[in-house]
Amino acid sequence: MTPALSTRGLCKSFGLLEVAREIDITLPQGARYALIGPNGAGKTTLINLMTGMLAPSAGTIRLNDEDITALTPQDRVRRGLTRTFQINTLFPALNALEAVTLAVCERRGVAGNFWSRLSGASDAVDEAHEILRTLRLADCCYQPTRELPYGRQRLLEIALALATRPKVLLLDEPAAGVPQAESGEIFEAVAALSGSIAILFIEHDMHVVFRFATHIIVMVAGAVFAEGPPQAIAEDARVREVYLGTRRHG
Amino acid sequence: MTPAAATPRAYLRAQSRWSPIEIAFWLATLTSYLFFPDYLSLGSQIAIAALFALSLDLILGYAGIVSLGHAAFFGTGAYAAGLFSKYVWGEPFSGLLIGGAAAALIGYASSLIIARFRHLTRIMLTLGIGLLLAEVANSAHDITGGSDGLQGMRIWPLLGFFKFDLYGKVAYGYALIVLFAVFVLARRLIHSPFGLALRGIRENWVRMPAIGASRASHIRKIYTISAGIAGIAGAVLAQTTQTVSLEAIGFGRSADVLVMLVLGGAGRLYGGIIGAIIFMVARDQFSGVAPQYWYFWIGLLLIGVVTLMPNGILGGLSALQARWRGR
Amino acid sequence: MFGPVAGVLFDGFAYGMLLFVLSVGLSVTLGLMNFVNLAHCAFAMLGGYVAVLVTNELGWPFFAALPLAFIGAAAVSVLLERTLYRRLYRASDLDQVLLTIGIVFVSVAVAAYLFGTTQQPVDVPAYLRGSISFAGVRFASYRLFLIVVALLIAVMLVLGLEHTRFGAQVRAAVDNQRMAAGLGINVELVFAVAFALGSGLAGLGGALAVEVVGLDPYFGFTYLIFVLIVVSVGGLGSIAGTFAAAALIGIVDIAGKYYAPELGAFLIYLVMVAVLMWRPAGLIGRRQ
């Protein structure tokens, strides 16, 4: 079966600084992959390369067997590759309904319509509201984003991504900065995502990783260090040494 | 203050509904014929400035593009309409369309340049393009009349009947009608999906491509539309004053419209109109005095607005309203 | 033999050197603080008027007026920075543009009120008024003086940036503000001092400019455009870039006026738009 997303020989350097080295990753359909590694390993850089925010020095990226290496970021989103940001990258003055409606309109290709009324684009608005409802954001959807509590904003990050109807979803630390008590809601939302979406998520919390991931990729210093099923990674002495420390997980 | 029980569609409909204050405002503009019959010329100047400021609001207040050269489009529209009336025919409404179209064309060409940039680079490009076009107008004095102004314009009576008179009665009505008509269209644009996309660009430049938006395409579109509207405003100026001077395309006009918009409050559709009224009335009051005094108070006003009321007068009013409602 | 060309190049380069002194402060503070300070040339104007006062009213020598122009502009800049500018360091481009344009407007009014609207002369020593002949070309002494001063300033700035601790702090803060603060550098102090130095240089430039281009209350606006062009073409935070851009703009402007006067200022604006489209961060700029 064609992999949902794959990279071959992906490299990126800034002068002498190599931030990505010969990265070969294959994400199968419906995957639940975790990307872990110490700070500065290049995880977010990899996502930036995959989504086109950064141009690679070498290598190719394929999305459902189409070479997307030369495509603009927005074209990749239109073909089904979406990401969320580690730091909330939202629209402060727009409310959640407006923000998600905008994403839906962009997907439907109607965002360029300056003649029709927004209130008339009822399908888009209803779809947006439905997405917000499933993420339990419907009750606060008329408040400006900047007034929402941090945990709700993280959920809105995911809502925006879902509005693009992704086939591959790259989540950059979805619960970053969210207190322990609230992070459960975010992971429930992630767990509830459709099995047809292939997910790669960056995460630091090992409990979460072992709970949700079926496959773990470990990155160190810009290269893939190890990968495999969670148990194998947990027991890999080299990984423990470089990242997990000596405590046992499982 | 919206009840949480409102449906999404009802909420959006409520956002775009005409409020009683709005309707009252537009009706009030008609009363100038009754209350300010000697100031109708000033009134048409205000309407023209308001239309120009509205055009700037579309790119500045809604898409977040700071332009120091917007007079390039105003002036292009003015000269295009002027030359059209001089060499082709003097029917006003077609002159408006010509002015708007010429400006929109220049606007589209400019947008190809500025759409890819941000911050100081983009500000400098808008300034550079504005200065370039002003120089062209100056250098091509055989066509434009240069510093003497465009001579020989012949404007026919509106609808074949209303002649532009010395008291400005027809001019005011004409400028007001054009302002209102364009305003209604702009209002519709703001409440369209495209309007939402513009605000998205303003609110988060980086997020737009991440939701599949083509930023550059949106920017080119609004820049062209904004230039076209600025051109229409310029055309009205040309037609109502029957001449075009270099100051219509100069840096001074670009700076003035920016001040007007910021004074009233950008991103609120009415900010440019409110700002234009206050600015033009104030300047009329200062017209007998040496220009230094004008510069002094405008400078102080700018410093004050930026430090104390960053969202302009309308922003200050809406903050007061929010506080009064106890949110 | 080389007559006109050499003359035009010389005049253009000298004019460019004046632009360099006027612009280098803005380039450094823009690169350092990302603060769009459109009032930069108002500080230059201040320096010009200080020089006029000192030489005409007080009768002091020109060479005493120059450092006083520097100090005067620097002092006023510190005052404005403490009261107004620092509130807007994190504000939007637009707010910074508006605040500083407002300051320029006020400066026009104050200058017109204090000095009237006519051009003011500055009393320059006689030996700087003449010219030197070389290889059949006349080189105006004042322009030679401008070139020497500008080169001295350029050298001092480069040495200062490369070899002093303060210079290292400035370079670190331009490169990565957060990191620099994390290393214990007092970024606020670095800003304040750099801003004062930059504005002082503008004042010095203004004092130097009076003899060449004249001084009136609108100086803050007239030369702002040139300075902005030099800074954006040269690249923010780069002394070498500002130097190259200033020389380029100066030569293009003078050559344009000599060889194609009907083009007017068209040429420089075209150069700016063309360079910015090719290299948006300027010839030697860093920020994207």
Q: How far apart are CA C130 and CA B270, in angstroms?
A: 60
Residue of C97, C51, C12 lying closest to C211 (CA atoms) = C51
> What is the DSSP code string of B86-132?
HHT---HHHHHHHHHHHHHHHHHHHHHHHTT--HHHHHHHHHHHHHH
Residue B241: domain span: 38-250
Reading the block at residue A35, the tokens are: 């990307």
Is B13 a residue whose pLDDT tops 90?
Answer: no
| B196 touching chain A per CB within 8 A | yes
pLDDT digits (tens, 9 = 90+) for A154-177: 999 999 999 999 999 999 999 888
Q: What is the CATH number of domain A5-244?
A: 3.40.50.300
Does a structural domain hold residue B280? no
| B268 touching chain A per CB within 8 A | no
**Nearest-by-CA chain C residue for B299:** C102
Task: Considering only residues C209 and C161, tell me which one the structure prediction assigns the higher pLDDT.
Answer: C209
Chains C and A in direct contact, meaning 3 or more beta-carbon pairs closer than 8 angstroms: no
Does a structural domain hold residue C284? no
Q: What ipTM goes with this model?
A: 0.91
Question: What was the pLDDT predicted at A249?
Answer: 47
Average pLDDT value for chain B: 91
**Which backbone phi and psi does C70 adopt, to 5 degrees?**
-60, -50
Cβ separation of B306 and C101 shorter than 8 Å?
no
Q: What is the largest CA-CA distance in chain C?
A: 60
Q: Dihedral of the CA atoms A165, A167, A171, A175 (nearest 10)?
A: 50
Does a structural domain hold residue B296? no
Is B223 a residue whose pLDDT tops 90?
Answer: yes
Cβ separation of C108 and B299 shorter than 8 Å?
yes
* Residue spans of alpha helices (H) in chain C: 3-33, 40-52, 62-83, 93-115, 141-163, 165-175, 177-182, 187-213, 219-234, 239-259, 266-278
Q: Where are the domains of chain A?
A: 5-244
Residue C15: domain span: 3-278
CB C21 within 8 A of CB C205: yes
Question: Which own/partner contact pairs does C86-94 have at CB distance under 8 Å and 24+ positions apart?
Answer: C86/C188, C87/B307, C88/B306, C88/B307, C88/C35, C89/C33, C89/C35, C89/C191, C91/B306, C91/B310, C93/B66, C93/B119, C93/B120, C93/B123, C93/C36, C94/B60, C94/B66, C94/B262, C94/B266
Does a structural domain hold residue C89? yes
Structure confidence at residue A250 as a pLDDT band (50, 70, 90): very low
Q: Which of B14-28, B181-195, C51-65 has the highest mean pLDDT?
A: B181-195
Is B145 a residue whose pLDDT tops 50?
Answer: yes
Question: What was the pLDDT predicted at C3?
Answer: 64
Does a structural domain hold residue C132? yes
* Average of per-residue pLDDT across B13-21: 89
Residue C124: CB partners within 8 Å, gap ≥ 6?
C55, C62, C142, C211
How many domains does chain C fold into? 1
> What is the DSSP code string of C161-217?
HHHSHHHHHHHHHHH-HHHHHHTT--HHHHHHHHHHHHHHHHHHHHHHHHHHH---T
Please name the member of A77, A113, A163 whose beta carbon is closest to the beta carbon of B194.
Answer: A113
Is B272 a residue whose pLDDT tops 80?
Answer: yes
CB C150 within 8 A of CB C21: yes
Residue A122: CB partners within 8 Å, gap ≥ 6?
B9
Contacts of B188 in chain A (CB under 8 A): 114-115, 117
Amino acid A248 reads: R
Task: Considering only residues B14 and A132, tell me which one the structure prediction assigns the higher pLDDT.
Answer: A132
Q: How far apart are CA A171 and CA B199, in angstroms?
A: 25
Does a structural domain hold residue C221? yes
pLDDT digits (tens, 9 = 90+) for C45-81: 999 999 999 998 888 888 989 999 999 999 999 999 9
- Among A48, A81, A88, A119, pick the best mutation site for testing chain B contact (most B Cβ within 10 A): A119
Residue of C17, C64, C48, C59 lying closest to C210 (CA atoms) = C48
How many domains does chain B fold into? 1
pTM of the model: 0.90
Contacts of C88 in chain B (CB under 8 A): 306-307
Structure confidence at residue A183 as a pLDDT band (50, 70, 90): confident
pLDDT digits (tens, 9 = 90+) for C142-192: 899 999 999 999 999 999 888 888 888 888 877 777 778 888 888 888 888
Question: What was the pLDDT predicted at A58?
Answer: 94
Reading the block at residue B151, the tokens are: 């001579």
